[in-house]
Chains A and B, each alone.
Chain A
Amino acid sequence: MTATSLLEYSHTLGFMANQGRGFNNPVDLAVNSKGIVYVLNRAGPEVGVRIAYKRITRCTPDEEYLGEFCTGGTGDGELWWPSSLAFDDEDRLFVADEALNRISIFDQDGKYLEKWGVAGTGDGQFNRPSFIAFDRDYNLLVSDSLNHRVQRYTTDGRLLAQWGEYGGGDGQFNMPWGLAVDIHGQVYVSDWRNDRIQKFDESGAFVSTFGGPGQADGELNRPAGLAVDRQGNIIVADWGNERVQVLDGEGRFAAAFRGESRDSLWAQDYFAANPDEASARRAALLEPEIESRPEYDVHRGYEWERSANVEKLFWGPTSVKLGPNGLVYVVDSLRHRIQIYRAATG
């Protein structure tokens, strides 16, 4: 494995759209057994017509739009602060919602099936479930962020185990976000406000910790979703640093990507229909050098500001998922798109 040969940019999926073909602040995606991509659009704010922009979009990796289902709301089968998606072994889609503190279940056609979960701090209760992933036995792991713990449930909502508490020590969490399970069943958790990844064995026993706060190679700033490939490489959305990092199985830095999106087919269609805007865009300098300003450091940081200016860069990456054919999907939430990379080494 070499750092430069790990991943290469393939193409971009998506385009900003309040409804229909396109995405609106996607936060996660899941790929079913047929390779269909389901994108979770959190959208917002929760007001007026915008509530309806929350939805799940179905499409193929090569940019064919297949439709959408769900809408915003607090009723059964609706979304308010949807946070994560995962398919079980029967291609049922599980959706976490961190405002409604519940898991909703749909079939792969988008038909609502059932829900479970209640708000609270006790066993089997949620306080903003931020991420879900299935373990090797198809039990559901839940990152219960404001309870600072990971929980394991059967698919019908029976609590099997939980671990973690608030803190900065081994096995403790501060608002965990992303979750991933490797081929050996080991569990990786983005320990968001501790700026690290923690690794646990299949039973939830602490194994090791990676990262630590900072912007240097191998350091993390509020990590979000992550994935682990068959070789054991960890690919993490380094949300606060506006980048994706690859760490090896021991947590050693392997590569970092700042993003290099090009126009998706849907974006190309837009410019074909709006030639004057396309013409002005071609004449524009789309990758300006951005000078640092004193207020950047006080507020959201230089890299966040740079991403606000340079469209090709990641801006608020929230999730990384692996798909068939070596595809690596990075959910580029504030740019309403998925940047797709390809594992160069297969």
Chain B
Amino acid sequence: MANTELALMAHLMRRAGFGATRDELDDCLAQGYESTVEQLLNPERSPVMDEDLIRRYHIDQNSLMLIESSQAYWLYRIINTQRPLEEKMALFWHGLFATAYGKLNHAKAVVNQTNTFRRCGLGDFRTLLLELSRDPAMIFWLDNKDNHKDAPNENYGRELLELFSMGIGNYTEDDVKACARAFTGWTIANADYMSIRASRDSIWPHGRLDWQFEYLPEDHDDSDKTFLGHTGPFNGEDIIDIICRQPATAWFVAAKLYGYFVSDTPNEESIQFLADKFTETGGNIREVMRALLLSDFFRGDEARLARVKSPTELVAGTARLAGSYQFPEWGIVNLAMDVSFMGQEILNPPTVEGWHTGREWIDTGNLVERVNSAALEMGDLARPGVQAALSRVREAGDTLEPLEFVDVCLDVLGLYDVTDATRESLVNHAARDGALEFGKRGAVDCTDARVAEMLQLIVATREFQLA
């Protein structure tokens, strides 16, 4: 059944965003694939989300003091953004440079970090690493406020090399020590006061105080260091320059992008292609992403539904389809908690390694959560997206035989790449009640309910769990 152009567009929007409604897919199709890719790669061409509404009605999402409120705020952004790749990149970098509320007790500090990811997430990798190194949440998270000239703390230096850029095996312990020394004096303002507040989760007397980066030259070790074969009185910027020139860094970033945007199964040839693009462009992430989204390996059949949706992708994507939470409504915090229950507590990843992705997103417990959450959203006929889907099904004809009925519903949800077995089971279910007849009104009109039920069944399929 698959309309290949529509299927490709749906694939693009699932990966470079959080899915698209059928109407949005039509708009993208009219624009064309390459043009849609450019729109995604240049988020500044689309309007920024108005924040005044959410600040007015969700007062707790105005100050962003609490973790649940901040998670709900980000989920609302993801659902309503007109800059889907900007949010997707922010989530990508958040997973890679994983910084958790749990140690900081300061949700806004982590939100501030995600704002940096929005601003720099499609820019050059050097700027991103530099901003990350100056980010107060990161400085607190990996103890760089305790990294002093006379008493270095290697935590940030080590993770910068191991988890944020080159990967283990590409540097020595001496490089870690030199890296840490280069970042001495990179701290946050009022570090002692902020530390004591964080350690006791103090919200007194008047809520959180924001954190700011501070460089203390008197606490910086400006002596010579040897790092990856280079010697000099390096500061943090110099270290980042050297890191960004390493082939290992190019491969590391390429592999992470491939795993996030293309497939849970690595492919060395494709990753090398992206690594080469990284090197050619001086680490320009927008250029690497352009190459990725236009590549044959991304557009080809093998990449379709080749990733397990993260909980955020699943919940936000379903909400976008259902048209839920297009305006600030109470209840979105519960939706955000659903994401957490499924194993992805955004703004509070489990460790500095982020989340284990792919098949590890799904176990017997959270599969039930995933199916129930999606079915709940899609079964609500009051949702505008469900109503829009219903209208499209109606437009398909007054009488729809079971196969037509199923295919129309798959089409309105933009899910084209289902297996024959899945389609057959859906058709078998539809056939139990015969053809769908909109024109024929009996004592009880069940057609709307049947459509809603079919939409629920579709979001409960194996394929809907995949991106």
Distance of B183 from chain A, by nearest CB (Å): 20
Q: Given A266-B205, A277-B200, is A309 in contact with B210 using a C-beta cutoff of 8 Å?
A: yes
- Flag if A288 contacts B189 (CB, 8 Å): yes
The residues of B that contact A281 with a CB separation of less than 8 Å are: 193
Q: Of A16, A44, A263, which is within 8 A of B60 by CB? A: A44
Q: Of B59, B194, B200, B333, which is within 8 A of A316 by CB? A: B59
The residues of A that contact B190 with a CB separation of less than 8 Å are: 284-286, 288
- Flag if B207 contacts A335 (CB, 8 Å): yes
- Flag if A295 contacts B116 (CB, 8 Å): yes
CA–CA, A50 and B200, complex, Å: 19
Within residues 88 to 146 of chain B, which ones have a CB less than 8 A from any CB in chain A?
A: 108, 115-116, 118-119
Within residues 182 to 238 of chain B, which ones have a CB less than 8 A from any CB in chain A?
A: 189-190, 192-194, 196-197, 200, 202-210, 212
- A-B pairs, 5 with minimum CB distance: A44-B60, A267-B205, A284-B193, A284-B190, A45-B333
Encode contact with A along B165-197: 1 for CB under 8 Å, 0 otherwise.
Answer: 000000000000000000000000110111011
CA–CA, A128 and B58, complex, Å: 13
Encode contact with B along A278-321: 1 for CB under 8 Å, 0 otherwise.
Answer: 00110111101010001100111000010011010001100000
CA–CA, A85 and B69, complex, Å: 25
Q: Given A99-B330, A298-B48, A300-B51, is A45 in contact with B69 using a C-beta cutoff of 8 Å?
A: yes
The residues of B that contact A305 with a CB separation of less than 8 Å are: 210
Distance of A322 from chain B, by nearest CB (Å): 23
CA–CA, A305 and B55, complex, Å: 14
Query: Please, which residue of chain A has its CB at the minimum distance from the CB of B69?
Result: A45
The residues of B that contact A315 with a CB separation of less than 8 Å are: 63
- Flag if A336 contacts B207 (CB, 8 Å): yes
Within residues 182 to 201 of chain A, which ones have a CB less than 8 A from any CB in chain B?
A: 192-193
Encode contact with B along A154-190: 1 for CB under 8 Å, 0 otherwise.
Answer: 0000000000000000000001010000000000000
Is B72 an interface position by the 8 A CB rule?
yes
Seen from chain B, the residues whose Cβ lies within 8 Å of a Cβ on chain A are 48, 51-52, 55-63, 66, 68-69, 72, 108, 115-116, 118-119, 189-190, 192-194, 196-197, 200, 202-210, 212, 330-331, 333-334, 337
- Flag if A192 contacts B330 (CB, 8 Å): no
Is A137 an interface position by the 8 A CB rule?
no
**A-B contacts besides A47-B333, A222-B56, A309-B212, 8 pairs, CB < 8 Å:** A16-B207, A25-B59, A45-B61, A267-B204, A285-B189, A299-B48, A311-B206, A336-B207
Q: Given A45-B66, A222-B52, is A264 in contact with B58 using a C-beta cutoff of 8 Å?
A: no
Distance of B210 from chain A, by nearest CB (Å): 4
CA–CA, A264 and B197, complex, Å: 19
Distance of B203 from chain A, by nearest CB (Å): 5
The residues of A that contact B51 with a CB separation of less than 8 Å are: 299-300
Is A46 an interface position by the 8 A CB rule?
yes
The residues of B that contact A46 with a CB separation of less than 8 Å are: 330-331, 333
CA–CA, A250 and B194, complex, Å: 46
A to B CB contacts below 8 Å, 24 in the list: A16-B203, A27-B59, A44-B59, A45-B60, A175-B56, A192-B56, A263-B205, A271-B205, A274-B202, A274-B204, A277-B196, A277-B197, A277-B202, A281-B193, A284-B192, A288-B212, A295-B118, A298-B115, A299-B48, A308-B63, A311-B209, A336-B206, A336-B207, A337-B205
The residues of A that contact B208 with a CB separation of less than 8 Å are: 308
CA–CA, A263 and B205, complex, Å: 8
CA–CA, A283 and B333, complex, Å: 38
Distance of B211 from chain A, by nearest CB (Å): 9
Q: Given A45-B72, A336-B207, is A294 in contact with B119 using a C-beta cutoff of 8 Å?
A: yes
Interface centre among B55, B62, B72, B206 (most CB of A within 10 A): B206
Is A126 an interface position by the 8 A CB rule?
no
Within residues 327 to 344 of chain A, which ones have a CB less than 8 A from any CB in chain B?
A: 333-337
CA–CA, A319 and B332, complex, Å: 26
Distance of A83 from chain B, by nearest CB (Å): 10
The residues of A that contact B205 with a CB separation of less than 8 Å are: 15-16, 263-264, 266-267, 270-271, 337
Q: Given A295-B116, A299-B115, is A44 in contact with B69 using a C-beta cutoff of 8 Å?
A: yes
The residues of B that contact A44 with a CB separation of less than 8 Å are: 58-61, 69
Within residues 78 to 102 of chain A, which ones have a CB less than 8 A from any CB in chain B?
A: 80-81, 98-99
Is A123 an interface position by the 8 A CB rule?
no
- Flag if B212 contacts A335 (CB, 8 Å): no
CA–CA, A263 and B206, complex, Å: 9
Q: Of B59, B66, B204, which is within 8 A of A270 by CB? A: B204
Seen from chain A, the residues whose Cβ lies within 8 Å of a Cβ on chain B are 15-16, 25, 27, 42-47, 50, 80-81, 98-99, 128, 175, 177, 192-193, 222, 239-240, 261, 263-264, 266-267, 270-271, 274, 276-277, 280-281, 283-286, 288, 290, 294-295, 298-300, 305, 308-309, 311, 315-316, 333-337
- Flag if A47 contacts B334 (CB, 8 Å): yes
CA–CA, A299 and B118, complex, Å: 11
The residues of B that contact A81 with a CB separation of less than 8 Å are: 57, 330
- Flag if B58 contacts A337 (CB, 8 Å): no
- Flag if B206 contacts A337 (CB, 8 Å): yes
- Flag if B56 contacts A47 (CB, 8 Å): no
Distance of A3 from chain B, by nearest CB (Å): 28
The residues of A that contact B58 with a CB separation of less than 8 Å are: 44-45
Distance of A71 from chain B, by nearest CB (Å): 16
The residues of A that contact B72 with a CB separation of less than 8 Å are: 45
Q: Given A16-B206, A45-B68, A81-B330, is A298 in contact with B119 using a C-beta cutoff of 8 Å?
A: yes
CA–CA, A286 and B205, complex, Å: 13
Query: Please, which residue of chain A has its CB at the minimum distance from the CB of B44?
Result: A298
- Flag if A15 contacts B204 (CB, 8 Å): yes
CA–CA, A42 and B207, complex, Å: 15
CA–CA, A222 and B333, complex, Å: 25
- Flag if B115 contacts A42 (CB, 8 Å): no
Query: Please, which residue of chain B has its CB at the minimum distance from the CB of A42?
Result: B59
CA–CA, A333 and B337, complex, Å: 25
Q: Of A15, A193, A316, which is within 8 A of B55 by CB? A: A316
CA–CA, A271 and B196, complex, Å: 13
The residues of B that contact A336 with a CB separation of less than 8 Å are: 206-207
The residues of A that contact B210 with a CB separation of less than 8 Å are: 305, 308-309
Query: Please, which residue of chain A has its CB at the minimum distance from the CB of B194?
Result: A284
Distance of B42 from chain A, by nearest CB (Å): 14
- Flag if B189 contacts A334 (CB, 8 Å): no
Distance of B214 from chain A, by nearest CB (Å): 9
CA–CA, A239 and B62, complex, Å: 11
The residues of B that contact A300 with a CB separation of less than 8 Å are: 51, 55
- Flag if A280 contacts B204 (CB, 8 Å): no
CA–CA, A315 and B72, complex, Å: 21
- Flag if B196 contacts A16 (CB, 8 Å): no
Distance of A238 from chain B, by nearest CB (Å): 13
Query: Please, which residue of chain B has its CB at the minimum distance from the CB of A308?
Result: B210
Distance of A294 from chain B, by nearest CB (Å): 6
CA–CA, A80 and B57, complex, Å: 11
- Flag if A47 contacts B68 (CB, 8 Å): yes
Q: Of B56, B115, B206, which is within 8 A of A335 by CB? A: B206
